[in-house]
Chains A and B, each alone.
Chain A
Amino acid sequence: MAAGVATWLPFARAAAVGWLPLAKKTMPKPPVDKKSRNDEILFVNVSGLRFQTWKNTLDRYPDTLLGSSEKEFFFNEDTQEYFFDRDPEMFRHILNFYRTGKLHYPRQECIQAFDEELAFYGIVPDIIGDCCMEEYRDRKKENQERLAEDTEAEMATDTPLPPDSTHRERLWRAFENPHTSTMALVFYYVTGFFIAVSVIANVVETVPCRPLKGSKKDLPCGEKYSLAFFCMDTACVLIFTFEYLMRLFAAPSRCKFMRSVMSVIDVVAIMPYYIGLVMPENEDVSGAFVTLRVFRVFRIFKFSRHSQGLRILGYTLKSCASELGFLLFSLTMAIIIFATVMFYAEKGTKGTNFTSIPASFWYTIVTMTTLGYGDMVPNTIAGKIFGSICSLSGVLVIALPVPVIVSNFSRIYHQNQRADKMRAQQKVRLARIRLAKKGTTNAFLQYKEEGGFHDRDSDNALCLKNRSSFEHQHHHLLHCLEKTTNHEFTDELTFSEMCMTESMGYRTSRSTSISSQQGMSTSCCPRRAKRRAIRLANSTVSVSRGSVQELDTLQVHKTSSGHQSRSSLNARTEDLKLNCDDRDFTAAIISIPTPPANTPDESLPPSPAIPGILRNSRTSFYTHETVKISSL
C-alpha cells in the first residue's frame, strides 16, 4: 500500500460512520493504540551530520528500515538519537524520499554506492521518480556492461557446453560462435574464402580476354575458359549447399531459421545454379536464364555473417526506413513538378530532347543530384530559368533529409532503448501494484484467521503476531465493512471451490460418504467453518444455501498435525474451549437434520486435505483442521 496514503486512513475510518445505520451486524471494537499519538521530532545522526524529522514522516513507509522497528537497533540511549554509520551525503536523498515520496538519484554519485545505500535502508530502487529513473537506468546498465566486459575479457575461452548436449546443439553452437572450436573456425574461414572466390569469379568472367586464335572479336573470359569457371562455380555452390543444409539441420527452430534473412540470401545465392542445371539449353529460355545469373551477386551478402558492420548497416537502414521513404517521396514530387515545367518550357524548341514528361525525368534527376551529364540541356530562356531553380532546389531537397536521417537514427536508436526500458519498468510497476493489492487482501484474510478480531486478553496476546497500528486499523476498517454487509471477504481459491461444490450436484449415499472417507474431507470454506465452530455458542449459523438448512455436518476440530480419525455420528455438541497449545478434540453438530425426501442433500466429495489448511508452524491456537463429514 502506498504509504503516503497512511495519512488518509483516519479519514477513511471516520467515514465508516456512514455504514453504521446500514450495518447488519454490530461493529467490532477498534484496535487500541497504546502508543501516544503525539507527533514527536526524531534525531538521526548519520556519521556526525544531524538530521531532524517528524516521526510521522518516517512512519510513512513501514517496510523500510527507518519506518519500521528495525531502527531501534540503531538507537543510542546516551544521546537519545538514532546513529547510522553511513554516508551523510546520500542520507539526504534517502530522507527526502520520506518527505516527498519521490526518490531522486544524485547524478554525481557512483551508482553502486547509491544502490548499496538503498539496500541498507530497505528501499527498493524501483521507487526512483520518473525524473531520475532514466539516468539511473542508463548508469546502471553502463556499469553492468562494463563489469560484464571485464569478466568476459578475463575468461579466455567461452564457457564449455554442458556435457550432455546433443550433436545438433553442438553443431548449431559451432555455426553461431565459430570461435568455440577449431573445426568451426576452419569451416568459417573456408566458407568466407569460397564466397570471395565465387564473387571474384563472377566479376572476372565478364572481363574481355584475348580472343581465340583466328578470331578478331574480344571474348569475355567466361566464355573462353567456360569449363574452368563452371568447375569453380560448381565447387562454390556445393560448399554453399552443404553449409545451408547443415545449418538447417542444426537449427533449433527450422521454421524460424528458414524465415530468417540470412537463410533467404543463401537460397537466392544458390538457386540460379540449380535452375541452370535443370533448364534445357533452349534459346528462348536462356534469355531469362541470363537474368537469373544476376542473382549470383547476392552471394556477396553472405559476407554479412562474417562482418558485424554490414549487419549494423542493415539494421540502420531498416530503422530509418520511414525517413528514407520520405526522402524518396519528396524527391519524386520535385521530379514530377520540374519535369512537367521543363517539358512545357521546352516544348516549342525544334529538335529538343525533352520529347515527353517521362523523358524530362532524366534531366530533372541528373540536375537535382547535381550530376549534370549534359546530354539534355534547355535552350529557351524560360527553360534555363527553371533549370537553375531545379538545380538549386535539388541541393536543398537532398541535403535536408540527410541530417534528419542522421539525427533520427540516433534518436530512434535511443528511443528504442528507452521504450523497452519503460515497458519493462511499467510491467514491473503494474506487477508490484498487483502484488501489493494481493498482499493487502492476503494480509487481511490472514489477519482474520489468526483471530485478530477477538478481545485480546493476556493469554492470547502472545499468540498474535506483531503488526503495526496502521495495519490493525486498516483491518478493523475492512472488518466493519464486512459487518455492514454481513458478507465476508474470501480469496479466489475458496470462492471458486465454493462455486464448484455448489454445482457439484446432490449426491446422497450416506454410507459411501462416511465409509469411503477416512474421516477427512475438507469443507469448502475451511476458515469460515472454523470460525463457525468457534462462535458456536453465540451465533446462529448461516448456511450458504438460503434459509433452509440442508446440511447436517459434523465438524471435528483437531489441533496441529494432521493425523486423521473418524468421528462418530452420535457425538454431542461440546463447548469449544480453545486455549493456547491445548490439543482438544471436540465435535460439533452444526445444523438440524432435514428429512431426506423433500430436500436435496449435498455431500462433499472426498478429497485430500488442502494443504492450505494445515498450519502447524504457528503458535496461535488456531492451528486447526476442519473435518467435515456430511450425512443425512
Chain B
Amino acid sequence: MSGCARCCKHGLMKFALSVGKLVRGTLIKDNLDDDLELSVVCHRPEGLEQLEAQTNFSKKELQVLYRGFKNECPSGAVNEETFKQIYSQFFPHGDASTYAHYLFNSFDSSQNGSIKFEDFVTALSILLRGTTTEKLEWTFNLYDINRDGYINKEEMTNIVKAIYDMMGRFTYPALKTDTPKQHVDAFFQKMDKNRDGVVTLDEFILSCQEDENIMRSLQLFENVI
C-alpha cells in the first residue's frame, strides 16, 4: 500500500514539474547531459611492475610501447574496426581486413571485442621473447579459428585465403583460384601426421620442430623492438 502511495506521489510530482516547465516555457529535458558523460570509456592497464613480471619486457621497453599505444588509442583499447584500418595500412596492395579479423580474435584474449594494452603486450611478449613452443602455440591458436583444439581444412583454407587476399591482384605469378587450396593441401600433407583430416596442437608443434626452416625463421623477429 505504501509503495502505491509513493508511486502516486512520484507521478504527481513529475506532472507538476512538467506543467511548471510548460508555463515557464522550457520543455527541454535536463537529463541529456548525463548520457554524454558515460560514453567515454577509459581503460587503464595494470601497474608497470606487474606487467614487467608477467611479460618478458624490461621497464623501458614497456614504457616505449605504452607511449605509442596510448598515443594511438587514448581510450586505452582498440576495437576491431580501428585494428583493421591500422593493419590494412601496412598492406596497401590488397585487402587485409579478413586476416586482421583473425589476428584480432587471436589477440583479444578475453573475447570482448577490444584489445587492451595487457593483451597487446602479452602477445608481443610471446611473439618476440617467448620460447619456440610458446610461439608455435600462439600460431596454432591463430589458425584454430573456433578454438576447439583442432585445425581442420576449412579453417586453414580461410586463413590461407585471407593471407592471399593481402597480396592483392597484381602478383607474379598470377594468382589462380586453386592456389590457396593447393597451399592448404601441402600444409596438411606436412602437418597431419595421422591423416585424420585435422591437425592437433601436438602434431603441429612436432611437425614444425622437424622443419629446420621454420625453426630458423622463428628466431628472425626477435629484434623487432
List the interface of chain A (C-beta within 8 A of B).
Answer: 1-2, 4-5, 7-24, 26-27, 29-30, 33, 37-39, 54, 56, 99, 101, 436-438, 440-441, 473-474, 477-478, 481-482, 484-485, 487-492, 494-495, 498-499, 525, 528, 542, 544
Contacts of A18 in B (CB 8 A): 103, 106, 138-139, 142-143
How close is B88's CB to chain A, nearest CB, in angstroms? 10
Do the beta carbons of A20 and B170 come within 8 Å of each other? no
Contacts of A2 in B (CB 8 A): 89
How close is A40's CB to chain B, nearest CB, in angstroms? 11
A-B residue pairs, 5 tightest by C-beta: A7-B68, A14-B127, A495-B170, A437-B92, A27-B217
B16 in contact (CB, < 8 A): no
**Which one of A7, A21, A477 has the greatest number of beta carbons of chain B within 10 Å?**
A21
Do the beta carbons of B220 and A30 come within 8 Å of each other? yes
Binds A, one of B26-34, B35-43, B161-169: B161-169
Do the beta carbons of A14 and B221 come within 8 Å of each other? yes
> How far is it, in angstroms, between the C-alpha of A422 and the C-alpha of B175 when the chains are bound?
40
Given contacts A22-B163, A440-B92, contact A528 B172 (CB under 8 A): yes
Given contacts A22-B160, A491-B170, contact A56 B64 (CB under 8 A): yes
> How far is it, in angstroms, between the C-alpha of A202 and the C-alpha of B110 when the chains are bound?
87
Interface residues on B, range: 35 or more
Given contacts A18-B103, A22-B163, A481-B166, contact A5 B173 (CB under 8 A): no
How close is A559's CB to chain B, nearest CB, in angstroms? 24
**Can you list 23 residue pairs at the A/B interface with Cβ under 8 Å?**
A5-B90, A7-B71, A12-B87, A14-B128, A16-B221, A17-B127, A17-B138, A18-B139, A20-B208, A21-B214, A22-B159, A23-B217, A24-B183, A30-B220, A101-B71, A474-B90, A485-B163, A485-B164, A488-B173, A495-B170, A528-B172, A544-B173, A544-B174
Contacts of B127 in A (CB 8 A): 14-15, 17
Given contacts A10-B224, A21-B191, A494-B172, contact A487 B68 (CB under 8 A): no
A-B CB contacts (within 8 Å), total count: 154
12 new A-B contacts at CB < 8 Å, known A7-B71, A489-B171, A490-B170: A4-B71, A5-B89, A7-B69, A13-B221, A17-B135, A20-B139, A22-B163, A23-B213, A99-B71, A437-B92, A491-B170, A495-B171
How close is B157's CB to chain A, nearest CB, in angstroms? 12
How close is A560's CB to chain B, nearest CB, in angstroms? 25
Q: Interface of chain B, helix or strand or loop or mixed?
A: helix
> How far is it, in angstroms, between the C-alpha of A101 and the C-alpha of B72 when the chains are bound?
9
> How far is it, in angstroms, between the C-alpha of A438 and the C-alpha of B71 when the chains are bound?
27
Do the beta carbons of A8 and B173 come within 8 Å of each other? no
Contacts of B214 in A (CB 8 A): 20-21, 23
> How far is it, in angstroms, between the C-alpha of A528 and the C-alpha of B170 when the chains are bound?
13
From A14, A15, A99, A542, contact of B173 by CB (8 A): A542
B187 in contact (CB, < 8 A): yes
Q: What is the chain B residue whose CB lies nearest that of A101?
A: B71
Do the beta carbons of B93 and A12 come within 8 Å of each other? no
> How far is it, in angstroms, between the C-alpha of A9 and the C-alpha of B124 when the chains are bound?
12
Do the beta carbons of B172 and A490 come within 8 Å of each other? yes
Do the beta carbons of B60 and A441 come within 8 Å of each other? no
> How far is it, in angstroms, between the C-alpha of A481 and the C-alpha of B127 when the chains are bound?
17
Contacts of A525 in B (CB 8 A): 172
Contacts of B159 in A (CB 8 A): 22
Contacts of A438 in B (CB 8 A): 92
Contacts of A473 in B (CB 8 A): 224
Do the beta carbons of A477 and B220 come within 8 Å of each other? no
Given contacts A21-B208, A474-B90, A485-B183, contact A15 B174 (CB under 8 A): no
Contacts of A528 in B (CB 8 A): 172
Given contacts A17-B221, A487-B175, A489-B168, contact A22 B187 (CB under 8 A): yes
How close is A311's CB to chain B, nearest CB, in angstroms? 43
> How far is it, in angstroms, between the C-alpha of A99 and the C-alpha of B74 when the chains are bound?
12
Q: What is the chain B residue whose CB lies nearest that of A27?
A: B217
How close is A41's CB to chain B, nearest CB, in angstroms? 12
From A26, A33, A498, contact of B216 by CB (8 A): A26
